Structure 1
């Protein structure tokens, strides 16, 4: 499980307190969402770079030349 799959621990207590008081702090909620979005974008960039590196490694392996992207041979 990645950190993105886990709910922030502070949200539970903050929302419980807000429900009791009858108001919600939207600015804080948006700040939390922006923070999580930045982390998700960074994770996507990291995974994208890993995928590009893996593809480059696979392409450089002997015998890979002449194959199409779907794995079929060039003569088919």
Structure 2
């Protein structure tokens, strides 16, 4: 079975809150994504793609890949 990248949801939510993002809309805007995409990844409905990963690492710097994501 191929490996997949999964969001560490609790770490992501905590990092967003600590970074000062008070809403999913504000975080999505900083990530240059639709709010629905952020919500769907957070709930596990879809897996994070390159745009989500890049947006998260940019918006939530200095968080690193291993802080926010895991390879399953």
Larger helix fraction of residues: 1
Structure number with greater Rg is 1
Greater relative CO, 1 or 2 (CA 8 Å, sep 6+)? 2
Larger strand fraction of residues: 2
